[in-house]
């Protein structure tokens, strides 16, 4: 039946072995060209037995116009397009004129063929194999680069996939924002991204898992972050060297840098972390050691209802968030100060937990003390993953 069907098609359409074999791509093993050559050979044996002329492979295919013969030159174009780019894995995609795709589908419909594959799929595969042989690179479902080829014009578009790096940062000084702001020379993001951009020769995008205020330090085990490097020309980078450059700033320190997938990067940024804080609380009316201890005792295990703080109302949706204080410990400092160590759910605003934010946070340290309290200094001690 295959030979009979092939004979019907070839009586009407002049097809090369690639295009003939592709009609039966889902049958048997081997390349479509090998399949087409075998089908044509058997068909012509039968035609010879019947005294008919053989149907030879045409000088020019009526469907693909011998596009597969262009593969060697396209491989060279791909090599030129990727000069100076470090990569180990790749994928090939192609853009075929719609009239060829339509003609191919029309042939399938006319002869009731349901064992075929599209021309672009075979072309991508064969071009990929040829490029791999020529360069030693390998194809991958998550490639470093993607070549988009226009087979007839010879245009090759190179898409360089981004690199994702996970790390944790410590902000060792006050007075620098996490991301660039007017009137600030530096930020955590700019210090980190300068080193990454230089190392990978690409555009760096910094994404922190949460943020701290300009006047708050981030200490301890550091805040998780992701760096996305877009269109990197280099991929074989020693992350320890990148860390050394960042850490030399004296302002920001990075830990545990490692390459991750896009999926892992997303998980890091969407995970909600508990946080450990150390706040220096100011009570102008005065505070005793006993009062400080009592506040910590009352805070432990307490559920806090916090309306979006007044200071961030323009940047955050105005709603009430419910967060929990898991641990609280107090250390009296002097007649007006005590330190408060807190472990809380992520997303609880600590400054407002202390001040009450004019009643927007309930209960607050101000409520529990019965005296106005303010956060004079705040550090994030740890981001707790578990």
Catalytic residue list:
213
Place of tokens 């007006």: 336
Distance (Å, whole) CA 345 – CA 87: 42
Residues in a beta bridge with 169: 223, 254
Bridging pattern class, strands 374-384 and 337-344: unpaired
CA-based radius of gyration for the chain: 33
Distance (Å, whole) CA 58 – CA 99: 20
Annotated binding residues, written as ranges, equal 277, 349
The dihedral of CA 324, 330, 333, 336: what is its sign?
A: positive
Distance (Å, whole) CA 250 – CA 226: 21
Annotated binding residues for substrate, written as ranges, equal 277, 349
Residues in a beta bridge with 276: 343, 382
Q: Count the alpha carbons within 13 Å of 324 in the hemisphere toward its beta carbon.
A: 6
Neighbours of 143 (CB within 10 A): 19
3-state DSSP call for residue 291?
helix
CB 13 within 8 A of CB 107: yes
CB-based contacts of 196, cutoff 8 Å, min separation 6: 165, 204, 227, 229, 242
Q: Outline where 274-335 has alpha helix (H).
A: 289-299
CB 205 within 8 A of CB 230: yes
């Amino acid at each position: 039946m295959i030979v009979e069907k092939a004979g019907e098609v070839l009586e009407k359409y002049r097809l090369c072995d690639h295009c003939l074999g592709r009609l039966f791509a889902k049958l048997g093993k081997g390349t479509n060209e090998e399949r087409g050559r075998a089908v044509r050979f058997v068909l012509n044996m039968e035609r010879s037995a019947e005294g008919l002329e053989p149907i030879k492979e045409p000088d020019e295919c009526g469907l693909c116009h011998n596009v597969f013969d262009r593969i060697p030159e396209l491989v060279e174009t791909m090599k030129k397009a990727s000069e100076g780019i470090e990569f180990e894995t790749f994928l090939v995609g192609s853009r075929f004129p719609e009239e060829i795709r339509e003609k191919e589908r029309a042939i399938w419909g006319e002869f009731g063929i349901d064992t075929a594959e599209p021309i672009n799929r075979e072309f991508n595969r064969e071009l990929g194999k040829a490029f791999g042989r020529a360069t030693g690179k390998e194809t991958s479902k998550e490639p470093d680069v993607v070549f988009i080829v226009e087979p007839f014009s010879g245009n090759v578009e190179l898409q360089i996939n981004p690199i994702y790096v996970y790390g944790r940062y410590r902000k060792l000084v006050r007075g620098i924002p996490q991301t660039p702001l007017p009137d600030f020379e530096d930020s955590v993001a700019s210090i980190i991204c300068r080193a990454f951009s230089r190392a990978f020769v690409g555009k760096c995008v910094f994404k922190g898992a949460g943020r701290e205020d300009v006047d708050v330090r981030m200490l301890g085990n550091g805040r998780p972050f992701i760096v996305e490097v877009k269109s990197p020309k280099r991929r074989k980078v020693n992350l320890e060297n990148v860390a050394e450059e960042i850490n030399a700033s004296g302002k920001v320190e990075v830990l545990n840098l490692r390459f991750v997938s896009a999926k892992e990067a997303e998980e890091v940024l969407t995970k909600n972390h508990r946080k450990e804080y150390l706040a220096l609380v100011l009570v102008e009316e005065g505070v005793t050691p006993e009062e400080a201890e009592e506040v910590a005792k009352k805070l432990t295990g307490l559920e806090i209802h916090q309306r979006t703080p007044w200071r961030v109302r323009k940047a955050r949706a105005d709603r009430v968030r419910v967060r929990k204080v898991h641990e609280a410990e107090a250390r009296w400092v002097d007649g007006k100060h005590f330190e408060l160590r807190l472990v809380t759910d992520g997303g609880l605003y600590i400054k407002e937990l202390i001040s009450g934010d004019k009643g927007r946070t309930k209960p607050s340290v101000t409520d529990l003390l019965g005296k106005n309290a303010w956060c004079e200094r705040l550090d994030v001690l740890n981001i707790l993953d578990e």
